[in-house]
Amino acid sequence: MTLSDDPELSALKDMHVGLFDLDGLFCHKLMSGTKAGKLAVTGYSFCDVIHAWDSAEQQWEDDRTYIDRPARIFPETLRRWPFSLDAGIVIADFTGDYGENSPRNQLLKQLARADAMGFGVTAAFEYEFFLLDETADSLRAKGYRNLEHFAKANRTYSLQSAAAYGDLFDGLRSCMETLDIGMDSLHTELGPGCFEAPLAVTSGIKAADDAALFRNFARAYFARNALTTVFMSKLSPDLSGQSGHFHISLRKGDAPAFADPDAPDGLSIEARHFLGGLLQLMPEMLVFTAQTVNAYKRLVPGAWAPTWASWGVQNRTAAVRIINDTPEATRIEFRVPAADSNPHAVMAFCLAAGLWGIENAVEPPEPLSGSAYEASPAPAARFPRDLVEATDRLEASDMARELFGDAYVDHFVRSRRHEVSDYLRQVTDWEVRRYLELF
């Protein structure tokens, strides 16, 4: 496939060519469509710093010169740029040894593994996010304090908010439609200015690409409307956390592989073993789904987020919720990831763990019938308490190295160590309030 395969798209004047960094941010260059077409054939290069800096663009590998590395453009990812009629967007990624550091490349490997086992993969993410009545300038002027929320009187599933802000959200849907990102629905959520956008189910890598692009372009769309999106895990101790729940199922040809109407809970043996693998590997590889310091402020009891490797049928307090309304729709909802997790890393981990479970016939424990917050989990099932512990567990995980390779694991670990090191030098508002008048 080439960029000129589609007559409509071949006429595009400009092309935005980009890669996703470890945080899932789309780092791109604007070039002519003609140049992008040539690079899709001859090869592409991009500065390797995007896999060696943090979200504040601070480099965490000082012994490097930051060179251009070989990369490739994926023509099949071509989409229209939503803010210009004669521009497009296409995804690229590093190749060779350096490409091992990329969560997207790791996901492609797991999808190839699923294909070799005879499975197709369908998936979708759903995102909660806050909207602030703030701009980049106002946030900085306030020092990120005393934030003004958009739709302050918002309530969950609110008719009033939907009616009052219909034009704004029609624009969001139009933006995503141009990008070929399906929005299954859109509704208000718990808290001022809180909304949820479940994305439409799709196949393979497109599920994670859609998710990553949705976050990047939702932020851009609302910024054009003088608003700020917040996808971070936990904005305030007084507000609910922001989830990035992940739905996944396997197929064998045209048939759903997770469904068996005659089995307990309607789950096939493949579904049970996929579930078993996911639950067993979840605690030691949690950092792939909770990669920031802030993420662990969400994974606490009573915050609509899981705290240990548990599962249940239609149980929203568990880490994995089985949805089995119909055989065709039977799927796993992985409720651990937050809205700020890297969707390629999340999907790569979930698929790798589940396929490992199928290969090794890993049986899950009994499902929860009550609240996961009231249960007493085994020590091995408990989640790491913070990013330090989660990073330590990933580094020590033999299974992570077997499934993803040393290069990716060590690179991810180094990036998280830097994140922790930077955080530990900070003095928070809580510490000042707590100790200033005492000591």
Residues 6+ apart with CB under 8 A from 275: 267, 311, 320, 322, 332, 354, 357, 364
Question: What is the residue type of 326?
Answer: T
d(CA 284, CA 349): 11
Average pLDDT over residues 22-29: 94
CB atoms within 10 A of CB 367: 17
Highest-scoring range by mean pLDDT, 35-49, 92-106, 140-154, 293-307: 92-106
- Whose structure tokens read 């994305």? 199
H or E stretch including 90?
Answer: strand 87-94
- pTM listed for this prediction: 0.95
First-to-last C-alpha distance (Å) of the chain: 67
Structure token digits, residue 344: 């390629």
183 phi-psi bin (left φ>0, alpha ψ -120 to 50, beta other): beta
Q: Indicate whether 439 belongs to any domain.
A: no
Sign of CA pseudo-dihedral 370, 371, 373, 374:
negative
Over residues 252-269, the pLDDT tens digits come to 998 999 999 999 999 999
> Tell me, what CATH number does 196's domain have?
3.30.590.10
Tokens of 244: 């990035």
pLDDT tens track for 398-436: 999 999 999 999 999 999 999 999 999 999 999 999 999
Residues 49 and 116 in one domain: no
Of 66, 101, 136, which residue sits at a domain end? 101
Position 376, amino acid: S
Look at residue 40 and tell me whether its pLDDT is greater than 50.
yes
Q: Are 225 and 218 in contact (CB under 8 A)?
A: no
> What's the domain range around 43?
7-101
> Which amino acid appears at position 284 of this protein?
E
> Of 78, 101, 124, which residue is a domain's last?
101
159 and 285 part of one domain = yes
Whole-number pLDDT of residue 1: 42
Both 39 and 182 in one domain: the answer is no
**Digit-coded pLDDT (tens) for 174-232:** 999 999 999 999 998 888 999 999 999 999 999 999 999 999 999 999 999 999 999 99
Domain boundary among 101, 129, 158: 101
Residues 248, 217 share a domain: yes
- Tell me the DSSP string of 390-410: HHHHHHT-HHHHHHH-HHHHH
Q: pLDDT tens-digit profile of 310-346?
A: 999 999 999 999 999 999 999 999 999 999 999 999 9
Domain count, the chain: 2
Q: Pick the closest to residue 10 from 46, 38, 44 (CA basis).
A: 38
Q: If pLDDT is split at 50, 70 and 90, which confidence band does 56 have?
A: confident
Q: Kindly state whether residue 319 falls inside one of the protein's structural domains.
A: yes
Residue 66: CATH number of its domain:
3.10.20.70
